[in-house]
Amino acid sequence: MRILNAPQGSDEWLRDRMGVITASNFSRVFTTAGKKSTSQQGLVNELIAESLMDAPTETYKSKDMQRGNDLEPEARACAELLLNVDIEEVGLVKLDDHEIGCSPDGIWDNTALAIEIKCPKPGTHVSYMRRDKVPTTYVQQIQGQMLVLELSYMWFLSYCPGLPPVLLKVERDDKLLNAALPILIDTADEVKSETERLRKKYESR
């Protein structure tokens, strides 16, 4: 794996992610059943555009997303207390041979362990408390991080001030990842080849 240490959210980190299939978008590449997502081509087009424009694609940040960003340091400190560890922040981690990567919310023990943190609204957090399992929405993101980081398990934390935190240990799903990896690689290869083809085609005009 390749580790790029630009702080998450920084301009350098955004540039590191250009043209890279990252874990936050894995659900747009493969489904929880290990099939190609119907959103895959839309993501491919966005990643090609980033590379051709040499600029990160602008993304909308909702009020809830900003709230999550603001609460993340507090949530990370909560996780440190619950797990009795010192959690480090990391930029972008990529596979050695493909532009596929992830930006975990925290790592420790030399990337041997990692955590994904969510800071949802109270009602959403309560739904996680009631389910006591990782929401389906985040399955591809979390499993994909284990693929990139070569982990057998990782942690999921849902944090909402005023409510008990939800901390879950998530085991690696090899059946899903064995099906997902070829789809991810094919998608990354398509982004690369189409970027090169379009650049050559239009630069010659």
Give me 20's structure tokens.
Answer: 């890279």
pLDDT tens-place string over residues 124-156 = 999 999 998 899 999 999 999 999 999 999 999
pLDDT tens-place string over residues 83-101 = 999 999 899 999 999 999 9
If you classify domain 2-203 with CATH, what class do you get? alpha beta
Cα-based angle 54, 29, 3 (whole degrees, multiple of 5): 55
**What is residue 59's predicted lDDT score, i.e. its pLDDT?**
66
As a whole number of Å, the end-to-end CA separation of the chain is 38
Length of the chain: 205
